[in-house]
A and B are shown apart, each in its own frame.
Chain A
Amino acid sequence: MIFTKLKSTEEFKTVANGLWRDHPIFSMVLGICTALAVSNKVDNAIAMSAGTTFVLVATAVIISLLRKLIPTRVRIITFMIVIASFVIIVDKVLEAFFPGISEALGPYIGLIITNCIIMGRAEAFYIQNNVHLSILDALANGLGYTYTLVSIAIIREALGFGTILGIRVMPAWWTNWVIMAMAPGAFFILSVFIWLSRTLAKIET
């Protein structure tokens, strides 16, 4: 009873869309550059998705607060400046506190700017909706991105290096499946993920 009531609220729909129906990676196929490139180790994946979620939420707040002031013609460049400023913060924080991860991610931190999830959500949602819905949407999309990235990374790190978060999980006879840690493995694993979730969610095209 409470659940059916909850189900029809705007907030519930926003969160459900971000987490499953309009999942950024599976159904919209956005933001996969980073999803593919940094998912070979679990700690990289966690750092990347935390950074992306932070930038998403911060952008959601700023853009939805300023949505009536931003002229339509220059909105794209406004989004970019807002996003880039927060990415600098992420970059400097990682550099200061997690130098190892910052080194491993290299230029991919800067590429959060062109992660299409953030641009796409800003254009489709934050520019039209109020602050609290936008924050919910950002959190849901960030969480959707995070669980995908981390689960791909768990599979790739286990198969490619025999470890998860640096702890050995595979038995001693396991030979590292090096391809899984390289670019082709990323394509194959993500395609299997897309196949499974699209079949479950009955999305066609």
Chain B
Amino acid sequence: MAYLLTIFIASVFTNNIALTYLLGMCPFIALSRNPKTARGMAFAVIFVITLTAAINWPIYHLILVPMHSEIIYYIVFIIVIAASVQFMEMIMEKFLPAMQASFGIFLPLVTVNCTVLAVSLFMILRKYTYIQTIFFAMGSGAGWMLAILMVAAINEKLKLVGDIPKGYRGPGIIMVIAGTIALSFLGFAGMVSIQ
């Protein structure tokens, strides 16, 4: 139980998927201009990461490994991710139209968010058990959310200052903010460690 908590805390703070492994950067840069869209995307990411990791783990360990077909796991994982996102979208459209409206356009975008695939690859690489995988996936999603919300909030304040050099506006300044936050997250190193 304590180890599960360690995995969760580590993947939120010390091994943050966005600020330490630099994953999920495309939507990170594009969406952190606006805190509201950032929040919508972040919830969709947490949801999809946990769901796909929960599906991919049994597929890898119960089907691919016994059949000695580990070589195709990239294809299998990516199909599972794309299919589960599409399937979830259809279910939501039918039964939860309010939730669908709030997730909206973010769900299809999540498919090409590298964090989702990365969590599935990391869980194989680090040989996590099923429960550990779930905690790792939730922690990674929460860590990504924390990072994008912090950057979006700071960016919102910077707009009030408004004398950023022209070439730095947009993605440039967001990267500087993210770099500064990543620097401060280095302070968490040594708090807990996994692997």
A contacts, CB < 8 Å to B: 29-33, 36-37, 76-77, 80-81, 84-85, 87-88, 91-92, 106-107, 110-111, 113-116, 119, 179, 182-188, 190-191, 194-199, 203-205
Contact = CB atoms under 8 A, between A and B. Distances in A.
A71 B168 CA distance: 40
Contact of A107 (B113, B118, B170, B172): B118
B23 A29 contact: no
Interface in B113-130: 113-114, 116-118, 121-122, 125
A198 B171 CA distance: 10
Contacts of B175: 187-188, 190-191, 194
A199 B183 contact: no
Contacts of A183: 19-22, 179, 182
A199 B168 CA distance: 8
Contacts of A197: 167
Contacts of A119: 112
B74 A33 contact: no
Interface string B53-77: 0000000000000000001101100
Nearest to A178: B186
Given A37-B22, A77-B79, A184-B182, 11 more contacts: A29-B29, A29-B171, A85-B75, A106-B125, A107-B122, A115-B114, A116-B112, A184-B179, A185-B179, A188-B176, A194-B175
Contacts of B75: 81, 84-85, 88
Interface SS of chain B: helix
Contact of B72 (A30, A88, A191): A88
Interface residues of B, number: 46
Given A187-B178, A191-B168, A37 B72 contact: no
Contacts of B34: none
B18 to A, nearest CB: 9
A182 B182 CA distance: 9
Interface string B99-122: 000000000100111101110011
A194 B186 CA distance: 24
* Consensus secondary structure, chain A interface: helix
B24 A33 contact: yes
A80 B82 contact: yes
A76 B86 CA distance: 11
B162 interface: no
8 contacts: A77-B82, A85-B75, A107-B121, A111-B117, A191-B175, A196-B167, A197-B167, A205-B169
Nearest to B108: A76
B22 A186 contact: yes
